[in-house]
Amino acid sequence: MAKVPAVLALENGHVVHGTAIGAIGGESAGELVFNTAMMGYQEILTDPSYYGQTITFTYPHIGNYGVSDDDWESGKIQAAGLVVAELSRTFSNRRAVASLGEWLEHNNVAGIEGVDTRALVRMLRTEGAMRCVIVHGTDVADADLVAKALAIPSMEGQNLTPFVSTRESYVSPHTSGGEGARAGAGKNPHVVALDFGSKRNIIRRLNHYGCDVTVVPGTTTSAEVLALNPDGIFLSNGPGDPAAVSTGIATIRELLGVKPMFGICLGHQMMALAVGGKTYKLKFGHRGANHPVKNLRTGSIEITSQNHGFAVDASTLPENVEVTHVNLNDDTCAGIAIPDAQAFAVQYHPEAAPGPHDSDYLFHDFVKAMG
């Protein structure tokens, strides 16, 4: 099959030419961000936190183990587009059902390969995450593509959670597998998870630790949450600017101290906002499976999976909020606790998928807090 040309245009005027992959003839637009993980591209592309973003990987060869039916983190590809140095046409994996290119095409996602992604990442690190467009074909002038990129709304101020949150509540019960927190000792702890764009593996880890989980839309009110009689409340990850999710922040404020609470990523940021803290946009964000975090309570170092473009300003937190974890790459706040409210949250993904499991203990801590 003849190769189709493709163009990647950034808002700063930088234009890169390469080869079309995925939905040939298509177009994608979003905020260009980079991920340093060497594997886990299927989980990354289906992570709802990437909604509205185009992903480039620093690792040059992507797709060599294909895609499987087991590695979805949501019901569809959430990323707007994909930029790679080289896309593997062949794959070897006993679980694989298709190549990465076929999967992108089937899900109508346009991408580009043949790009010096490491040079692109150096540009993003210097100038920050940028809006971009990917267009297949050569019939559009570079200047027009740059103008298209400039017309994309900034990530700041955007509440994107309605695009990725569940529309209807559903229940994910604990099964006989896993640790079974209360096996043989009465009912399982019941967690109500506010879904702002949750990854599936978060719910799986809660189930693994013995929890029955009711997942509810991110717009669910505090009264509706409490009517479900939860033992604990979970705040999920998700895309966009946390400060723009005003309804969710108000709900969290009303629920703090009523039941034990655990938040991840966007949930961490929203918990901080609910107690009067502030958040800010990072220059290029933290995205990868190898970010070192220090647990300030124990002094131990955890290698973590991360995906976020905003962070909590620790200097704005009230006195009753403890900073529990710090990102060792840039000293940003990576975890908080509110002891008098039995609430805690982290700015990374203890459930990984992909990534290390150093921080999986946080799920155990949450179950322990629920008694």
Helix (H/G/I), strand (E/B), else coil: 259:
strand
Which helix (H) or strand (E) element contains residue 301?
strand 301-313
CA–CA distance, 320 with 64 (Å, rounded to integer): 48
Contact criterion met (CB below 8 Å) for 345 and 279: no
The answer to whether the peptide bond before residue 354 is cis (omega within 30 degrees of 0) is: yes
Instruction: Considering the candidates 174, 208, 325, 349, report the single residue annotated as catalytic.
Output: 349
Spell out the alpha helix ranges (H) of the chain: 41-45, 100-106, 117-127, 142-150, 200-208, 222-227, 246-255, 266-274, 361-369
Catalytic (active site) residue 106:
no
Task: Compute, in degrees rounded to 10, the torsion defined by CA atoms 62, 45, 151, 108.
Answer: 90
Catalytic (active site) residue 351:
yes
Q: What number of other Cβ atoms are within 10 A of residue 180's Cβ?
A: 17
CA–CA distance, 295 with 100 (Å, rounded to integer): 37
Between the two ends of the chain, the Cα-to-Cα distance in Å is 61
Instruction: Considering the candidates 27, 31, 73, 351, report the single residue annotated as catalytic.
Output: 351
Contact criterion met (CB below 8 Å) for 49 and 307: yes
Instruction: Considering the candidates 265, 308, 325, 333, report the single residue annotated as catalytic.
Output: 265
- What are the φ/ψ torsions at residue 91 (nearest 5 degrees)? -145, 155
Which one, of 34, 230, 248, 201, lies nearest residue 126 by Cα? 34
Residue found by looking up tokens 């039916």 in the block: 69
CA–CA distance, 230 with 261 (Å, rounded to integer): 10
Q: Which residues contact 156 (CB under 8 A, 6 or more apart)?
A: 241, 281
Which one, of 333, 340, 337, 216, lies nearest residue 271 by Cα? 337
Report helix angle 361-369 to 200-208, nearest 10. 60
Catalytic (active site) residue 14:
no
- Name the token pair of 240: 């966009």
Positions marked catalytic: 265, 349, 351
